[in-house]
Chain A
Amino acid sequence: MIKNPSIRDLARGEGPVTELNVKDQEPLPPPYDKLDEEPPMAALSSSAKERFVNLDNTIAVNIPKPKTKAEEERLVKGFLSGMQKLFNAGDNWTFLQPLVLSMEHCARCQTCSESCHIYAESGHNPLYRPNYRSEIFRRLYFKHIKKEGTWARGDMELNWEAVARLIELAYRCNLCRRCAQTCPIGVDNGMMAREIRKLASQELGIRPKELHDDGSMLQQKVGSSTGMSSIVVKDNMDFIDEEMTEKTGLTLKTPWDVEGADVLLMHNAGEILAWPENPGAFGILLEAAGVSWTLSSDLAAYDSINYGAFYDDVQLARTLILHIQAAKKLKVKKILIGECGHAHKAMTVIADRILTGDLNIPRESWLPFMVDIVRQGRIKFDKSRNDFPVTLHDPCNITRLMGISEPQREIMRAVVPEERFREMTPHGVNNYCCGGGSGFAIIGGHNFPDWRFRGPGRRKFRQILNAFQGEKMDKEHPKYVCAPCSNCKGQIRDMLKYYDAWEKAGINYGGLVELMVNAMPEAKPGFIDWEWH
């Protein structure tokens, strides 16, 4: 085990290169300020170590160790042919330009290192530097694709260990792109991590099963990554309608497949199963504002997720087309994307480069849409109903990527008393990732969840605790972390549980639409249920 691995250590023989050592970590703010009283990080089992490639004593991808020379060679050859394709306009026209710029122009100043929450919270383990991964990829590119001398760019051995570990290492990055934002010349290490994931998936068929088999493939086959068919999702929404009607006293009947509706709303279907108040609150708000809206029961159209955004361009395009076809069929004016960050990325920013002609139908984030409704006074709010401390998490794919920062704050000012709102430091486009980004929140094998709470998620937990310093940290004084993104919510839920933060500090979490409905004087009070977490 090496504490400070160098670039070349990635190609070293058997065993982990290094590991996240919790003893190297900075203590958190109170009441978690004693490092040795934090919950332990589970060890990787010995059977997992025997079977799978081990980078750092945790595993996201489950790459089996090659058993024969031919399997070893397949990894190396596949990696080289995949890399060739990444730098070919015919194969990679979508990302070729930013990729080449990021390859050619990095000055290796390492300004990006400190901007990365994973590196900083790991106790500065070099393996987790954004440019550790990129520099390896860059050296291989100059050596094998551009065939330049290694004297200028540095050498890197290419063996199966390096390939397998580099793929695993592409899943130690949240793709939050805070490093790209910090880079003086815009080198995008986050995108490079995704390019490595893409190479592994499209050329070698290597990717986490949660994202592929149980994710995008299941969605394209059944209709949703949750496994819900259209019959099940309608049954569940009926149940939500009944529950919400009872809870708020406002009648909710979710409209399905309404042709010619103004707005086709797409939820992350995980909300329907795990956070039913969220789609319920959306319905209550849209009805109160008099919006002409509908859901679609077409294949994949009731689940806005597009895990291809995390690992595979082909899968991304396939799911995207299903989303667009459903909107075209219903002849809606636009698609409205609910509280899901990566759906924003897939359906707007990336889709803008893919959808042409009549496929390019308008797509909008729910936040600018809703802030207009709030400004026009189409829904009444009574802020005093949200009389508890609230902090706001900015989802990277909505805020840093798209620049949507002010709408959620304007809504916040309309529904939460000013003196109750606490900004995190930093926030807005300079936010930190929740630690669940890029699919981490649903990658749950081995001890990977513990790694993502102790590593990537630790900065967010630190920010949450800092935002609430000065409050009474017990459950008699409930506090709300508003996280308007399903993936962020899943991560924050699991991390609060890991730290027992409701029992110990009275910290709960939820979305933004729930806070809005909780403040509606027309609805019965108590929409937010503190006991349910």
Chain B
Amino acid sequence: MAQLKVGDFSLDLDEDGFIQQPEKWDKNVALALAETEGVNELSEKHWKLVNYLREYYQKFGVAPMIRKVCKDTNMKLNEIYELFPSGPAKGACKVAGLPKPTGCV
């Protein structure tokens, strides 16, 4: 199983690079995950999106609808793709420490 090194500990990743233990997520994990996505720095806008996803996930146990993300963060879909080139689910949610989306989505 692939590993993500964060400082002096490491986390298990699934085959698509999502962390397996969402409860171990913190800001340093986010930075390390962002690097795997080719995003080397997280701007204020990145954090706004990541924190929104994180809070929603902690409240509801699932990722939010993309439409809702756009409305609540006041970002357009293409802006999200500019921040995270693999998109809201495979990029932004991964960095926010959410598990991979499931079902017909």
Which residues in A have some Cβ–Cβ distance to B below 8 Å? 47-48, 210, 214-215, 218-219, 222, 224-229, 231-232, 235-236, 239, 243, 268-274, 276, 303, 305, 340, 441-442, 444-446, 486-487, 490, 532
> Which chain B residue has the least Cβ–Cβ distance from A48?
B15
> Contacts A229-B61, A273-B65 known; A305 to B102 CB distance under 8 Å?
no
Find out whether the CB atom of B105 lies under 8 angstroms from the CB atom of A490. yes
Q: Pick from A225, A239, A532: contact of B104, CB below 8 A.
A: A225
Find out whether the CB atom of A442 lies under 8 angstroms from the CB atom of B61. no
With A222-B61, A228-B62, A441-B104 known, 9 other A-B pairs at CB within 8 A are A225-B102, A226-B103, A226-B105, A227-B101, A243-B67, A269-B103, A274-B65, A305-B103, A445-B16
> Which chain A residue has the least Cβ–Cβ distance from B62?
A227
Residue B77 at the A interface, CB < 8 A? yes
Please, how many angstroms separate the alpha-carbon atoms of A261 and B15 in the complex? Answer: 45
> Which chain A residue has the least Cβ–Cβ distance from B68?
A239
Main secondary structure of the interface of B (DSSP, over half): loop
Please, how many angstroms separate the alpha-carbon atoms of A271 and B105 in the complex? Answer: 7
Binary flags per residue of B67-90, CB closer than 8 Å to A gives 1, else 0: 110000000010000000000000
> Which chain B residue has the least Cβ–Cβ distance from A228?
B62
Residue B42 at the A interface, CB < 8 A? no
> Contacts A236-B68, A239-B68, A444-B16 known; A270 to B61 CB distance under 8 Å?
no
Residues of chain B within 8 A (CB-CB) of A445 are 15-16
Residue B66 at the A interface, CB < 8 A? yes
Please, how many angstroms separate the alpha-carbon atoms of A486 and B105 in the complex? Answer: 8
Residue B9 at the A interface, CB < 8 A? no
Residues of chain A within 8 A (CB-CB) of B68 are 236, 239
Residues of chain B within 8 A (CB-CB) of A222 are 61
Please, how many angstroms separate the alpha-carbon atoms of A446 and B14 in the complex? Answer: 11
Find out whether the CB atom of A231 lies under 8 angstroms from the CB atom of B102. no
Q: Pick from B2, B15, B60, B67: contact of A231, CB below 8 A.
A: B60
Residues of chain A within 8 A (CB-CB) of B105 are 226, 270, 273-274, 442, 490
Residues of chain B within 8 A (CB-CB) of A239 are 65, 67-68
Total count of chain B residues near the partner, CB < 8 A: 18
Residues of chain B within 8 A (CB-CB) of A232 are 60-62
> Which chain B residue has the least Cβ–Cβ distance from A489?
B104
Which residues in B have some Cβ–Cβ distance to A below 8 Å? 2, 15-16, 60-63, 65-68, 77, 100-105
Find out whether the CB atom of B65 lies under 8 angstroms from the CB atom of A226. no
Find out whether the CB atom of B15 lies under 8 angstroms from the CB atom of A215. no
4 A-B pairs closest in CB distance: A270-B104, A225-B103, A226-B103, A214-B102
Find out whether the CB atom of A446 lies under 8 angstroms from the CB atom of B15. yes
Find out whether the CB atom of B102 lies under 8 angstroms from the CB atom of A210. yes
Please, how many angstroms separate the alpha-carbon atoms of A147 and B65 in the complex? Answer: 56
Residues of chain A within 8 A (CB-CB) of B102 are 210, 214-215, 218, 225-227, 442
Residues of chain A within 8 A (CB-CB) of B101 are 226-227, 273
Residues of chain A within 8 A (CB-CB) of B104 are 225-226, 268-271, 274, 305, 340, 441-442, 486-487, 490
A229 to chain B, nearest CB (A): 7
> Which chain A residue has the least Cβ–Cβ distance from B87?
A497
Please, how many angstroms separate the alpha-carbon atoms of A48 and B66 in the complex? Answer: 31
Residues of chain B within 8 A (CB-CB) of A224 are 103
Please, how many angstroms separate the alpha-carbon atoms of A445 and B66 in the complex? Answer: 22
> Which chain A residue has the least Cβ–Cβ distance from B59?
A232
> Which chain B residue has the least Cβ–Cβ distance from A490?
B104
Q: Pick from B62, B66, B67: contact of A226, CB below 8 A.
A: B62
A265 to chain B, nearest CB (A): 17
Please, how many angstroms separate the alpha-carbon atoms of A254 and B43 in the complex? Answer: 39
Please, how many angstroms separate the alpha-carbon atoms of A236 and B68 in the complex? Answer: 8
Find out whether the CB atom of B60 lies under 8 angstroms from the CB atom of A270. no
B99 to chain A, nearest CB (A): 8
Residues of chain A within 8 A (CB-CB) of B65 are 236, 239, 272-274, 276
> Which chain A residue has the least Cβ–Cβ distance from B57?
A227
Please, how many angstroms separate the alpha-carbon atoms of A179 and B98 in the complex? Answer: 41
> Which chain A residue has the least Cβ–Cβ distance from B2?
A47
> Which chain A residue has the least Cβ–Cβ distance from B77?
A532
B101 to chain A, nearest CB (A): 7
Residues of chain B within 8 A (CB-CB) of A270 are 103-105
